[in-house]
Structure 1
């Protein structure tokens, strides 16, 4: 009997799996099970092995379930039985078997699980029945193939990417670069994957390298070149011979049709490629491998390889609310139908195959890959339901007259992308082919027939272009687009290159303050123009800067010109991955359409979803009101100001040690040294000092050598500055550039504070304490104002309208304070709030050893302090209205409406 191809064996394995997936009883069907098992590999069990082989142990006769002398012993149990005991029982039989007949392999099974022991190589392989098709190569000794070394559970990983990176470097060192190098590497990746997943016969590419090329690697490049030609040539057009080349299938799909320059390999590079081929590429995750290999080709990024690919969990935060949840809901609705169910299912499958997806900054294709995978899995669920509706059975009734493409209608050509990097664009295209094949395998398991979609007649439409320069309409007509998704690049204004700044300037047509926008804003702007007056749904990941502070106003004023309406959003969260040294960025996800949206809007916060009437650009359920920068408060309250700014090169600021040194060496300096407080010192009791020489006489200053040395350094620092304003202050080097210190005690508000706190810590400071430019100052002992600023109402406002430093709050004068709608207090309300503030300050004094950070940590906040704050919250809220606020969203909605009312007439 001729040896079966691995493709045929896999096909038979799938039939076997489907046939035996519900069997449980050892005694009833075990023999038939193993007859069918051997038939998977084209072998009649009767020719090689016997059931119930008798063996003598300690004078007793025992019966081996199945014995193939010299090769295999099988011990079979009922479903769920202990396989360790089964193995012990199997090896116990060895005492009754002649040495020459002892097997190399022991196989134990309970129908649902297989465990294969290779006693010569001391290896164990375990897998489930439904994974037999993936593991048939373990049984090459049954099929008649020469035994090969197989590294079980050895997936493609960071090591593989590093090895490919070494090949990249070696080729680059000999000036094999550019598109030739990128394309060659992508082709090698495809061949390695094809070798393990049924596109090629198992191990064919590895055998090609190992057995058909010189060990020194000198002929490898030429033979690869010819192999690529073969992969691009239909079988009927090839030269007829019996070489290994003709065992490779026709692939085409534009992957192999471009003629490349011939590379040069050496022995080390050949060995690296062989080592790659020994890994199990069938376990590859297309969602991450593109990013890994993209990084592997960059020597600088390779040190942090794997640190920047996006986790699947985070990508799903975009995909699910954008389209997947809605499609699944529609499918579930059809499943419940009794009338016209079959027609509706078939219509729904056609709908899935007609959807188009567009990522205008696709990188190596992560978002498109997972979107395609989810669409294919949903289509398979639909096919299962169609089959059940037709025949009333779970297993598929395969119509052998149908072509696979008549059954599976979704394909990679539904996916479009733009990517500026050539290598990433090619990786994205190949990755989509890979996930297509993985999904074909999953479908084949259900159909009971192995299938590879070859030749690759369809391909994803990945354009290697600059998405900020190319017209998106030329990539995909918006009339044919359903969804836009992705993760465009984030670059803050401070870190942008000249070219990136030019991009923003051009795309926003010199809109005022657009120079402060994050680079990601460009994609929001272009997408809004692209989807205008269409039904396209869009969702982007973005840095959270576009949903807070001044950037928000600048960007969304422009987006609203295209009737943009937010339909779902994820509030700030850490966008990270599962790799070591993972990169964490504070992000939001915003889904939007152009025009009205009648369906429910969804707002996510730490994976908790609430339905919203309206989602504003602040990503809250409130009217769409933009809080614009304002120089004066909208309420009748004192103005707030920055603390004093030194611009001194650190020369007017002293550490505690420097302070002691000054006073010890020159006691006169003691009267000029003042406590110096910024956000850190205010919240954490940090100790810092400054030379405060505002009222010091020139003669006294000149009498201090230490002080004059510092002043001279300040002057030098300011004169060297590129800023004209700073150079001007070199004329007065003994004092701060901006002096804002009040002549009275004052309220101090930290410029930055942790978002984990329910209340932003604020404090009254003595006028002798110098406030730095990292705190805000309100002169006077206004207890009622302190109470309102320290209340939940103000903290809710701050949390939602302020800018952020990472996830920390950034308090601001022009956005937060000046726009906050303070309540009008009656005399009684004012007295009540003042009393509670005094209680708060007195309670704090009881914990003098604790910092404000300790006191306002949600975990360690004293109960007595918390209870007073809760009373203060109620008092402040009653000053706004008598009706109780149930949630923070109610508070915020009320404040926005009040703001809108107070600013209506300018």
Structure 2
């Protein structure tokens, strides 16, 4: 068919939709050179007419035409209202798997293509029937059949939201600088935000808000009067000029508060207003605007945020998947009852008299039972309550609301397809509850939920609620989620409202940063502390319920335990620090399982997340009431089914119950904590060493020492130096080392800036020349040794290495006061590394292995007779010790030879005696080669010779335990755990 013939046949036709729609579409296929549905898919399931029509629904389907992966198409008669048609197909899009395009057309006038991608801004293409002689118009329409992706708008909803959030950050700063109260600035900007959204979804008429801004640009002095008039009308409904404004209120428009704006400020608002706010993304809207409105978070504006896909990792397993399973079971019941009704009805039609009447009654009874089953499920959904007790700006609440509404909508559509009448959506913002202490965030949470609710209704073909448009959201409370002050002035754990699901992303703050916060780093903004008063109160209220050494996030788990006393118990899903699986922070999670009778049914032990605008690694933890029997689905750990998830977020063998071995106590020490910069460049250190003796007659070598950190173990010698006055605690003695003492004067300023005028923790902090924690016990233990063994707290591989005993060690190292190869070999063996990896956790955005003297070393059972409390000299004649030492010596020799080949390095004495000799490259070419020779790189490559050396060591260690050398990793761990329990059974 040629364009002229198509236009002549169809333009302005008076034929009715049902009589002409299919013929119209077939002619269109001929015009575009596309195969018809019957030519492409004889089944009609992926491409066909009246998709979704059944005997019970008659000839009407979810769409007049459907092509999977391309479009759903709704026809109307000539000059019909296409907005009505669009709303109709929107209501059934979910039953069509949400095709990327929703197309509406009347028979003789217009074809309109609406994009339907979730994460892109929306766009509409309108093609008049009369314009189909234009090849460009036909090509555009053909893309809907062949390449709908070509019609996807380039801008994502996230990008749009980021753009408008950046504009309002500038406006907030400007208003704050004028002296306006922060809360009032936030409230005013939230009103502007909602007005722009309301205008673009036609809740405010005739571009009223944009026209108001444009009038203000002509005369800025009039803006405040205009805004107050608009807000007052939105408070209860009324007129603005000749335009009628609906009743909004909901607490957002409870008065006429507005500020005067300068022309530059109005330009900011206008730039934002001309964007299409109907496509704003509520899942990140609140987060971005909170950063813009809150000065403490403004530096995070351009940083990452948690997107919907991440939030669904909690909302999915805790809320939607269980409820979707319930709907699946309910739908099966309805399907069976409707089939029964259909059979009874057919039988009644072939039977006359009283028997037929009884069969007709059986059909009615079955239909009524099906309706009752649907009503019961819909009531279950509408009564379902979701609580986020650290809701921030509401992104978890918005996603939960959207998903619940989607499930209700799906149930209604699928029930309608089975023959039951469809009702209006009942789920609204009242199903979500939140607690948030920050007033900026709390109000933004309400705005995000309101916008999300209205967007959902319009996107799915329903009108937004009215009278008022915004219902009060008192369920999102602005208060402390952990502590509550009674009328008699007593503090107690906060009460949480009852909920069927408790979800969220509680604040991350390590136990050692609770009081004073965490300073900024290159990759992460500073995190404010809670202050002494609040922390002391927190410890008092939760004494005996949560350890004071636990991370802040654990308090939400402790309060979640209180919530498990309700009936029915809630499902719980939190984003937590990785330490939730270990140590003191794990106690609250462990109590939820043991005391709250909950079970971990879905967990990810270690995944990327965004916290305070920085990418970190976290654990995702979901718990449900303990389930038994056939209905209990297998738990998932790291997306894989397991028989059970342990509270340390492992499966199978868990080391959470491993006890400290008395033989290992005080055999491992952490390096120094400086609290200031005591390290000094190598050139300066050597200059100090070469200085003449001080007035006390002593050399600077007594206080200028080699310094060793992580990279000295896993990498190469960093030639680190430090000034250490630990042996000279009195200022008058330390000052006699004139130039070294002057070199650490800056520490006083550093500590002063860090404490911001607050009292320091101890007298040692006031003594600026002294490190905060110099580790005297470690110094005592290594005083008579020539070398020690060090292991980094975090590294890609657990690497143990000998270091000179004359040095000072960073707090990022754990040091063993041993110099024998037997101890070294046991620690470097696969046996110990397996235990350390399972007993420890991972740290930082780099997800590195973490060593810890408590969890990983002190619980580890060494071979009997070779335990750390036995000096090496005592087992010198033990053949087991000799075999391990021989293999370990060989491994160490090979590694050191690879690190520093004789042809690439030269060795020189240090500038003064008493220090290890220097290892230097022989020339520039050697220096480049040596840069890549680190133990981390070696273990990443793991050449065959290294593997053979480790196998020899592992064999010697296995023999020392009396075990075969070919045990699996699981068998090794099981035997080690049994040894731990056997040796500590009296603890």
Q: Which residue of 2 aligns with 1:380?
A: 409
Choose the corresponding residue for 1:112, options 124, 135, 144: 144
Q: CA offsets per residue over residues 273-325 of structure 1, 9 Å max, x none?
A: 33222101122110101111111113453343142532223212212222223
Gap change, CA 1:194 and 1:545, over 3 Å in 2 = same
Aligned with 2:480 (options 445, 449, 466): 466
Any residues of structure 2 matched to 1:287-306 within 5 Å, and which?
Answer: 287-299=283-295, 301-306=297-302
Return the match for 1:640 from 656, 661, 667.
667
CA distance in 1, matches of 2:382, 2:235: 27
Equivalent-residue separation in structure 2 for 1:208 and 1:661 (angstroms):
71
The reply on whether 1:408 has 2:425 as its aligned counterpart is: yes
Name the SS for the 1:205 alignment partner: helix
Q: Choose from 464, 467, 484 the match for 2:502.
A: 484
Residue 419 of structure 1 corresponds to which residue in structure 2?
A: 436
Tell me, yes or no, if the aligned pair for 2:575 and 2:620 is still in contact at 8 Å: yes
Residue equivalent to 2:552: 519
CA distance, structure 1, for counterparts of residue 948 and residue 234 of structure 2: 75
Match for residue 389 of structure 1 among 413, 418, 436: 418
Q: Note if contact 2:789-2:824 (Cα within 8 Å) is conserved in structure 1.
A: no
For residues 712 and 798 of structure 1, the distance between their equivalents in structure 2, rounded to whole angstroms, comes to 42
Identify which range, 683-692 or 311-320, moves more after superposition: 683-692
Give, in angstroms, the shift of residue 245 of structure 1: 2.3
> Judging changes above 3 Å, is the alpha-carbon distance between structure 1 residues 339 and 280 closer, same or farther for their aligned structure 2 residues?
same
Change (3 A) 1:491 1:770: closer
Q: Number of residue pairs matched? A: 771
The residue aligned with 1:743 is 784
Question: What is the rounded CA distance, in whole Å, between the counterparts of 1:49 and 1:378 in structure 2?
Answer: 33
- Structure 1 678/302 Cα, relative in aligned 2: closer, same or farther at 3 Å? closer
Q: Give the counterpart of 1:362 among 379, 386, 391.
A: 391
- Alpha-carbon separation, structure 2, partners of 1:788 and 1:180: 64
SS of equivalent to 1:584: strand
Change (3 A) 1:114 1:886: closer
1:55-134 superposed matches below 5 A: 74-75=131-132, 86-87=135-136, 108-110=140-142, 112=144, 127=151
Distance 2:268 2:676 in 1: 53
Cα drift, residue 73 of structure 1: 6.8
> CA separation of 1:204/1:113 partners in 2, compared to 1, >3 Å: closer, same or farther?
farther
Corresponding residue for 1:899?
Answer: 980
Counterpart among 681, 692, 713 of residue 682 in structure 1: 713
Does the Cα contact within 8 Å between 1:292 and 1:305 map onto a contact in 2?
A: yes
Distance in 2, matches of 1:533 and 1:304, equals 39
Contact 2:655 2:838 survives alignment (8 Å): no
What are the superposed Cα offsets for residues 808-838 of structure 1, whole Å, 9 maximum, x if unpaired?
4453334432221223379675555444323
Contact preservation (8 Å) 2:791, 2:800: yes
Distance 1:23 1:675 in 2: 83
Q: Does 1:230 align with 2:233?
A: yes
Q: 1:112 deviation in Å? A: 2.7
Contact 2:509 2:553 in 1 (8 A): yes
The answer for the alignment partner of 1:796 in structure 2 is 834
Q: 2:889 matched to which residue of 1? A: 838
**Other-structure match for 1:245:** 243
Distance (Å, rounded) in 2 between the aligned partners of 1:583 and 1:617 = 25
State the SS of the aligned residue for 1:219. helix
Q: Give how far 1:468 is off.
A: 2.2
506, 509, 516: which one aligns with 2:543: 509
Relative to structure 1, is the Cα distance of residues 689 and 375 closer, same or farther in structure 2, using a 3 angstrom cutoff?
Answer: same
Question: What secondary structure sits across from 1:339 in the alignment?
Answer: helix
Q: Deviations over 1:60-115 (max 9, x none)?
A: xxxxxx999xxx972369xxxxxxxx32xx7xxxxxxxxxxxxxxx9942383799
| Structure-2 separation of matches of 1:244 and 1:454 | 20
Contact 1:854/1:861 (8 A) holds in 2? no
What residue in structure 2 maps to residue 753 of structure 1? 794
Give the 5 Å matches for 1:172-321. 172-177=176-181, 179-201=183-205, 203-210=207-214, 215-233=218-236, 238=238, 243-246=241-244, 248-256=245-253, 258-299=254-295, 301-307=297-303, 309-321=305-317
CA change 1:570–1:152 in 2 (3 A) is closer
Distance (Å, rounded) in 2 between the aligned partners of 1:172 and 1:646: 40
What is residue 762 of structure 1 aligned with on the other side?
800
**How big is the shift at 1:536?**
0.8
Q: Which runs of 5+ in 2 are unaligned?
A: 1-16, 34-72, 85-104, 112-125, 339-369, 486-491, 518-528, 752-759, 867-877, 901-929
Residue in 2 that maps onto 1:587: 618
- Partners of 2:108 and 2:666 lie apart in 1 by 97
TM-superposed deviation, 1:232: 3.9
Whether 2:172 is the aligned partner of 1:168: answer: yes
Which whole-Å CA distance do the structure 2 matches of 1:297 and 1:804 have between them?
34
Residue 813, structure 1, aligned to residue 858, structure 2 = no
Is 1:537 aligned to residue 571 of structure 2?
yes
Contact 2:435 2:476 survives alignment (8 Å): yes
Paired with 2:110 and 2:548, the residues of 1 have a C-alpha distance of: 78
Contact persistence 2:676–2:771 (CA under 8 A): no
Question: Residues of 2 paired with 1:732 and 1:470: CA distance?
Answer: 40
Alpha-carbon separation, structure 1, partners of 2:882 and 2:812? 31
- Structure 1 match to 2:489: none
Is contact 1:291–1:308 with CA below 8 Å preserved after alignment? no
Q: What value does the CA root-mean-square deviation take over the aligned residues?
A: 5.1
Return the alpha-carbon distance in structure 2 between the equivalents of residues 194 and 663 of structure 1. 73
Taking a change above 3 Å as real, the CA distance of residues 845 and 458 of structure 1, as seen in their structure-2 partners, is same
Q: Is the 8 A contact 2:672 2:771 kept in 1?
A: no
Q: 2:568 aligned with 1:528, yes or no?
A: no
> Match of 1:568, SS?
strand
What does the per-residue CA deviation read over 1:820-859, in whole Å, with 9 as the maximum and x for residues that have no partner? 1223379675555444323422331441346884356553
Q: What is the rounded CA distance, in whole Å, between the counterparts of 1:349 and 1:318 in structure 2?
A: 23
Quick one: structure 1 residues 610 and 529, their matched pair in 2 at CA, closer, same or farther if it must change by over 3 Å?
A: same
Q: Do 1:198 and 1:452's aligned partners in 2 also have CA atoms closer than 8 Å? A: no
Change (3 A) 1:434 1:348: same
Query: How far apart in 1 are the matches of 2:705 and 2:214?
Result: 77
Aligned-pair distance for 1:687?
A: 1.5
- 5+ residue gaps, structure 1, are 1-14, 51-65, 78-85, 91-105, 117-124, 136-150, 392-398, 445-449, 697-701
CA shift in 2, pair 1:114/1:595, >3 Å: closer
SS at match of 2:243: helix
Counterpart Cα distance in 2 of 1:542 and 1:381:
32
2:945 to 860, 864, 883: 864
Judge conservation of contact 2:785–2:805 (CA < 8 Å) in 1.
yes
Match of 2:92 in 1: none
State whether residues 745 and 780 of structure 1, in contact with CA within 8 Å, keep that contact through their aligned partners in structure 2. Answer: no
Contact 1:208–1:244 at 8 Å: present in 2 too? Answer: no
Measured in 2, the distance between the counterparts of 1:413 and 1:380 equals 17
Residue 363 of structure 1: how far off its partner (Å): 1.0
Q: Per-residue deviation at 1:804?
A: 6.1
C-alpha distance in 2, partners of 1:196/1:21?
Answer: 37
Q: Is the CA contact (8 Å cut-off) linking 1:662 and 1:706 kept in structure 2?
A: no
The answer on 1:442 being equivalent to 2:459 is: yes
Conserved? CA contact 1:418–1:463, under 8 Å: yes
Distance change in 2, residues 1:880/1:486 (3 Å): farther
Q: TM-score, normalization: structure 2? A: 0.66
C-alpha change, 1:499 and 1:216, in structure 2 (3 Å) is: farther
The yes-or-no answer on 1:453 pairing with 2:486 is no
